[in-house]
Structure 1
Amino acid sequence: MEPLETIWPVFGLRLTTPRLVLRPIQDGDIPAFVEAAASGIYETRDGHIPFPTDWPNVPDMGPNSARWIWEHRIQANPGSWVIMFGVSTRDGDFLGTQDVASKDFPSLRTISTGSWLRRSAQGQGLGKEMRAAILLWAFDHLGADVAMTSAYDWNSSSIGVSTGLGYEPNGETRTMTSTGTVEREVRFRLSKERFRRPDWELEVEGHAAAAAFLGVPSS
């Protein structure tokens, strides 16, 4: 019988930093995903939340989270994909997720990212470390030229991660959230040349098979 990583090669990806391990979320990780999200991600600030919807606090968060994970997995193809990396400590404690997405990657060589960490893991530099891991993988292994991200203008933690890694402002838009709040969303762009690389090396496993599955020639 073939191992799951052979059938779905993205599952063989593993990115390791000094403190973290990033792996694409599998079904066995979903309970830990739900528990981490339910334990608290943020404190609502006068009706402001850092996501378009207040998904961690809805009654059906568990089933909706599983659907969200499965939908991205089912829809992945060489022309459009989202990889939802589960972020854990080296001891296996689930802390949050770091997502990376792209459309027409072989032509555009552009990725976008999004992430969250459970509140108990915030304020320790882990958000910057896990974003740096994705950028190292994207620039040095996938062959990306540009990385994009965004955050609401009051989200200083997310903006600090971006600017600390070398992202530059790239316009803005206005967004209506599920709570009825209008938010100013600021966008950021990072070229490979402007990336402020960390002083540690990223360990990468399973890249070649995953890249081929995503339609990206291995660099």
Structure 2
Amino acid sequence: MGHPHWPLFDLEVRTPRLTLRYIDDALGVEVAGVASRGVHDPSWTPFMTPWTDHESPDLERNAFRFWWRSRAETTPERWTINLAVIADGTVVGATGLSSERFDVLRSFETGSWLGREFQGRGLGRELREAVLHLGFAGFDAALATTGAFADNEPSLAITRGLGYEPEGRRRVVRRDEVGEIHGFHMPREHWATIRRDDITMTGVESVRDLLAIH
């Protein structure tokens, strides 16, 4: 039986290699543990908000604050869905999708990270395809967006490899210096040409009701 009040706790997306599962408090302990062991070379960061610059236990506590805040602020008008990435029963990272006024715009933005120990195995593309499937097949979105710093080549390679269209660059602050974000979007029409038939989802209909997706 699913959760009687918060159907996001029952949300899962499965591919042959990965499972994406909504982050509850128990799963959050594992996700935070992966993050604390390292996500990237400390001399550089792929994140605008430098959350990985914090030491343990602040890093883990801040992660929980973010997940709790996202959960508390989930409404049909604005939502962020945070998902653990699990491979062979082991948490390897996290991904998420967020949207504002999905009822009008039918668009969502994605972001993700993998623990350093799990990088270089092709899991980044696999999890991106899974979260795109949730947004397009699960929520009937019309557009997906994403972005990455100009020097984040692994992320950019996945984005370009999946056929996203570039939509410009913008200057942002990264560790008190100037950084350049490359933005991309993928329309539903393109996603339909790369849609996979081996991805399954659980709990989507109840989540659609929670988010008033019609």
Normalised-by-shorter TM-score class: over 0.9
Is residue 169 of structure 1 aligned with residue 166 of structure 2? yes
1:193 match: secondary structure: helix
Is residue 84 of structure 1 aligned with residue 77 of structure 2? no
State which drifts further: 197-206 or 106-115: 197-206
C-alpha displacement of 1:202: 0.7
Name the aligned partner's letter for residue 24 of structure 1.
Answer: Y
Contact 1:18–1:200 (8 Å) recurs in 2: no
* Separation in structure 1 between the aligned mates of residue 52 and residue 36 of structure 2, nearest angstrom: 6
C-alpha displacement of 1:181: 2.1
Other-structure match for 2:126: 129
C-alpha displacement of 1:29: 1.2
Contact 1:139–1:192 (8 Å) recurs in 2: yes
Is residue 154 of structure 1 aligned with residue 151 of structure 2? yes
Over 3 Å counting, the alpha-carbon distance change for 1:215 and 1:100 in structure 2 is same
C-alpha displacement of 1:12: 1.2
Name the aligned partner's letter for residue 28 of structure 1.
Answer: A
* Correspondent of 2:176 among 180, 197, 217: 180
Contact 2:147–2:183 (8 Å) recurs in 1: yes
| Runs of 4+ deviating beyond 6 Å | none
* Separation in structure 1 between the aligned mates of residue 176 and residue 70 of structure 2, nearest angstrom: 26
Over 3 Å counting, the alpha-carbon distance change for 1:36 and 1:210 in structure 2 is same
State which drifts further: 36-45 or 92-101: 36-45
Contact 1:38–1:57 (8 Å) recurs in 2: no
Other-structure match for 2:48: 52
Q: Aligned pairs, how many?
A: 211
C-alpha displacement of 1:118: 0.3
Other-structure match for 1:100: 97
Contact 2:42–2:53 (8 Å) recurs in 1: no
Other-structure match for 1:36: 34
Other-structure match for 1:16: 14
Over 3 Å counting, the alpha-carbon distance change for 1:164 and 1:33 in structure 2 is same
Contact 1:132–1:197 (8 Å) recurs in 2: no
Is residue 216 of structure 1 aligned with residue 202 of structure 2? no
1:170-210 CA-partner distances (Å, limit 9, x unpaired): 01111112x22210111001011122526551111111001
Other-structure match for 2:201: 204
C-alpha displacement of 1:109: 0.5
Q: Structure 2 unaligned runs (5+)? A: none
* Correspondent of 1:115 among 112, 127, 131: 112
Identity within the alignment, %? 33
Contact 1:133–1:202 (8 Å) recurs in 2: yes
* Separation in structure 2 between the aligned mates of residue 155 and residue 143 of structure 1, nearest angstrom: 29
C-alpha displacement of 1:58: 0.9
* Separation in structure 1 between the aligned mates of residue 29 and residue 202 of structure 2, nearest angstrom: 24
Q: TM-score, normalised by structure 1?
A: 0.92
Q: TM-score, normalised by structure 2?
A: 0.94
Name the aligned partner's letter for residue 119 of structure 2.
Answer: Q
* Separation in structure 2 between the aligned mates of residue 52 and residue 199 of structure 1, nearest angstrom: 31
Is residue 61 of structure 1 aligned with residue 59 of structure 2? yes
Q: Structure 1 unaligned runs (5+)? A: none
C-alpha displacement of 1:54: 2.9
